[in-house]
Amino acid sequence: MSYFSYQNGALHAENTSLSSIAAQFGTPTYVYSKAALTDHFLAYADACTAGGRPATDSLVCYSVKSNSNLAVLQVLNQLGSGFDIVSGGELLRVLAAGGDPRKVIFSGVGKTRDEMRLALSHDILCFNVESIPELHRLNEVAGEMGKTAAISLRVNPNVDAKTHPYISTGLKDNKFGVAYEDALDCYRTAASLPHINVSGIDCHIGSQLLDDAPLLEALDKVIELVDQLASENIALHHLDIGGGIGITYDDEKPVAVSAYLGRLFARIDAWREEKYQGIPLKVLFEPGRSIVGNAGVLLTEVQYLKYGASKNFAVVDAAMNDLMRPAMYEAWHGVQAVLECNVDAASHTYDVVGPICESGDWLARERVLAVSQGDLLAFQSAGAYGMTMASNYNTRGRAAEVMVDGDNQYLVRKREETSDLFALESMLP
Ligand SMILES: *Cc1c(COP(=O)(O)O)cnc(C)c1O
């Protein structure tokens, strides 16, 4: 089901017209669908409990960095989601949205002492440790606080996720996790530290994966390690396979979440049946994009049309500071005119660009559109890594965010005012 569709020639989010949202809140504005968010989360939750598997055997930890708006976190929290965070700031967001720190796991290669203290003070579920020095620092900080930190090691299974190099994280040359060959030694070190409690193992090999074969390959390598650890009496309580399932931006056909989880649990069940009958081992997931990516669009207004010798431009009021993905990864986003048919405009091929003083400030290239100045456009699939990557470049306030629920629309983040942008600055005396 699509949550963004034309009704009587006008693009809607659920039952709310995007034109009415633009009229009320202006542009550029991110618009999210609560029903889409809910359905995408439930695809994971339902696959986790398929065949009568108890809900306590798994935990879906939504990756907060993909979209950290409090209302998004609130909706997911109410559905029972856990959270995968990569900063102390994200932990505070989860708590502000009512999230349970016992369902929070903390990933990232650069955790500071302050962030560790904050997370320990809230007794989060687990730190996903990415290096030996981090392990020692965490042991120290936990010791100072009289606490024990539950950890999993992020292992780098060295599988090729076959995705964009900037979002591939499981190859041995990148900065994430500990090398597969070093993992056993790292676990032995972890097990010897007094304020560390070895709890799990995790990996996350990349993002926008269309096929689950690399994920299942990573799972096999993780399983091998769990076996080796068990033979050394290091027993784990959970196995975290990360996130990374892709979405359709254009004509991609990503594996269905239910099919992927079905295959994954089949392997895990067979292995556990053989070796670990009756021993609990929770399975964790860290999805981001596949939950929120296609639950949002970026609404923008055409400011000017420019016709040139070799290119035409539609200059809109959204820019690379609002939606960074095209400039950063040459990502493709679908563009739809909010009014399906503009009888006053002829079709032309446009590059859709923003007002920022960079040639890299483009949002879509070579799209056939029949638009006039003042028309509204919607960039599709903008719910993930859209607003969270937004900046204030060119002293542009960040966009408003609206969540639609049926025919209700809620402003879930006000548009930033210019005075907000330099409120923290001061001039010399
Ligand atoms: C970004 C990230 C995710 C989420 O990835 P998606 O591709 O959005 O599902 C999960 N785990 C970690 C450690 C991440 O950094």
Q: What is the pLDDT of residues 119-153, one digit of tens each?
A: 999 999 999 999 999 999 999 999 999 999 999 99
Domains of the chain: total: 2
- Whole-angstrom distance, CA of residue 403 vs CA of residue 411: 6
Residue 429 included in any domain:
no
Locate 273 and state its tokens.
């049946």
Last residue of a domain, one of 263, 291, 319: 291
- Assess whether pLDDT exceeds 60 at residue 1: no
Tell me if 214 CB under 6 Å of ligand 1: no
| 3-state SS assignment for residue 194 | coil
155 and 45 belong to one structural domain: yes
320 and 180 belong to one structural domain: no
Residue 179: phi and psi, rounded to 5, are -60, 145
pLDDT of residue 171: 66
Note whether 355 and 313 are within 8 A (CB). no
Tell me if 254 CB under 6 Å of ligand 1: no
8 and 156 belong to one structural domain: no
Tell me if 111 CB under 6 Å of ligand 1: no
Whether residue 385 is annotated as binding a ligand: the answer is yes
User: What CATH number is attached to the domain comprising 65?
Assistant: 3.20.20.10
338 Cβ contact partners less than 8 Å away, ≥ 6 residues apart: 10, 11, 18, 19, 22, 299, 375, 376, 377, 378
User: What CATH number is attached to the domain comprising 363?
Assistant: 2.40.37.10
What does the chain come to in residues? 429
Core vs surface per residue 233-250: b (16+ CB within 10 A) or e: ebebbbbbbbbbbbbebe
- Assess whether pLDDT exceeds 60 at residue 7: yes
The letter for the amino acid at 37 is L
For the chain, give the mean pLDDT. Answer: 96
Tell me how far the alpha carbon of residue 266 lies from the centroid of ligand 1, in angstroms. Answer: 23
Tell me if 244 CB under 6 Å of ligand 1: yes
Tell me how far the alpha carbon of residue 291 lies from the centroid of ligand 1, in angstroms. Answer: 11
Locate 421 and state its tokens.
């942008």
- Whole-angstrom distance, CA of residue 101 vs CA of residue 82: 8
Tell me if 170 CB under 6 Å of ligand 1: no
* Domain boundaries, position 101: 34-291
Reported as a single tens digit per residue, the pLDDT across 155-199 is: 999 887 776 666 666 666 777 889 999 999 999 999 999 999 999
Last residue of a domain, one of 265, 291, 317: 291
280 C-beta neighbours (distance < 10 Å), count: 11
Residue 18 included in any domain:
yes
| 3-state SS assignment for residue 139 | helix
Tell me how far the alpha carbon of residue 381 lies from the centroid of ligand 1, in angstroms. Answer: 17
Reported as a single tens digit per residue, the pLDDT across 9-32 is: 999 999 999 999 999 999 999 999
Instruction: Among 84, 210, 329, say which to mutate for ligand 1: greatest number of ligand atoms within 8 Å of CB.
Output: 84
Q: Is 357 a catalytic residue?
A: yes
Residue 428 included in any domain:
no
Tell me how far the alpha carbon of residue 61 lies from the centroid of ligand 1, in angstroms. Answer: 10
DSSP string, 27-77: SSEEEEEHHHHHHHHHHHHHHHTGGG--GGGEEEEEEGGG---HHHHHHHH
210 and 68 belong to one structural domain: yes
Note whether 157 and 170 are within 8 A (CB). yes
Reported as a single tens digit per residue, the pLDDT across 296-346 is: 999 999 999 999 999 999 999 999 999 999 999 999 999 999 999 999 999
Residue 426 included in any domain:
no
